[in-house]
Amino acid sequence: MPFPIRVTGSTVVLREFSMQDVDDVLGIIGDDKVTTWLSFDSRDRDQAVAMIEGTLERARQEPRTEFYLGVTKRDDDHVIGFARIGLSGVQAGKLGYAIAAKEWGRGYATDAARTLVTYAFKELGLHRITAAIGPDNTASIAIAQQLGFTREGTLRDHVFTNGQWRDSVLFSALAHEWSW
């Protein structure tokens, strides 16, 4: 199974994390502006270290079932976000992504998601990829729609985050519908 992965998009690069990324990662998963939309609460430095260690450990498992990659700009190796596909079911994967708040609105998440989904269909042979998005997360819903994902329905009380249950809107893309 592939390790290490490095995939280049139009404006971003997706690459494996390293322990040098702790401060950049903390700037993302330690920021309430970002995590309020995610399925976990904000994390501290120790948890950021543990997150990277866990990611690297799972990345080396055979077979590899998690593709949790740092997002960088093409000309700068600092991590400005992450994109993740976790395999689940038959040739199926779950997509997630986040970008540091100071870099929002520049198209990085759209490019990161498009690049990872294309990789997953083409190189990992996936058939179906889903994204479960909070109903109020307009930016993320815009990304799913722009990439051509189909809205399937609502998952009720799907995640417990920030002290309460939250629904998700489920979007999916199928390999034969994907334009690359």
∠ CA(166), CA(85), CA(22), 5° rounding? 85
DSSP-assigned states of every residue in 68-88:
EEEEEETTEEEEEEEEEEEE-
Pick the piece of the chain touching ligand COA (CB under 6 A) from 14-22, 47-55, 142-150, 152-160.
Answer: 142-150
Residue selected from 137, 161, 162, 172 as contacting ligand COA according to rule CB under 6 A? 137
H/E segment holding residue 112: helix 108-122
Q: How far is the CB of 113 from ligand COA (least distance, A)?
A: 8
Nearer to ligand COA, 59 or 141 (CB): 141
146 part of the interface to ligand COA, by CB under 6 A: yes
Distance between CA atoms of 25 and 11, rounded to whole angstroms? 19
Contacts with 88 (C-beta within 8 Å, 6 or more apart), sequence order: 65, 94
Residues 41-100 binding ligand COA (CB under 6 A) are: 96-99
Site residues for ligand COA per CB under 6 A = 34, 37-38, 96-99, 104-110, 131, 133, 137-140, 142-143, 146
